[in-house]
Copies of this chain bind each other. A is one copy, B any other.
Amino acid sequence: MASKGVNKVILVGNLGQDPEVRCTTNGNAVANLSIATSESWKDQQGQFQERTEWHRLTMYRRLAEVAGEYLRKGSQIYVEGKLQTRKWQDQQGQDRYTTEIIVDSMQMLGGREQSGGQSAPAGNQPQRGKPPASNGYQQARNGQQGNNQPIAEPDFDFDQDIPF
């Protein structure tokens, strides 16, 4: 509802794998996605270099459902969200930290046949008896809230997450 400062991330990239979608105990969907961005340049020796960066995304509610229904490995998306670093304990009981992008809004890019399709439907998406839209123009936003709004998800057990 109120913010001090600005915490904004804008990414355009392709999914490294199908989204993982789960439900919280109170019935809200949560999706985890990873997308890649990369850059390439010539180094001082004139050699071509490339660096790929992987970004871990988290989506909630309607956005998570849309991701589960329409996104697949290879899908290209635009996302806007905020950075969030959460603390967890590894098996040795050590504190560890993972930084994720909590997504506020998402756009599927490329239209037409580009998104979805090839990869087999993952078992964890909410099934709704509808095939994925054949055109990629879907947009989604978490319904009842503006950007940057914290989402209370007290019953979601992040401790069980595999570190990214």
Contact = CB atoms under 8 A, between A and B. Distances in A.
Given A54-B85, A97-B164, A152-B44, A10 B2 contact: no
A39 B141 CA distance: 12
Contact of A6 (B78, B85, B112, B143): B78
Contacts of A6: 10-13, 37, 78, 80, 107
Contacts of A142: 146
Interface string A90-109: 10101011110000110101
Contacts of A84: 53
Contacts of A94: 90
A149 B99 CA distance: 22
A122 interface: no
15 contacts: A3-B37, A3-B105, A3-B141, A4-B107, A7-B13, A7-B37, A8-B80, A9-B9, A12-B12, A12-B109, A43-B152, A76-B110, A83-B99, A104-B146, A104-B147
Contacts of A39: 1-4, 7, 148-150
A8 B7 contact: no
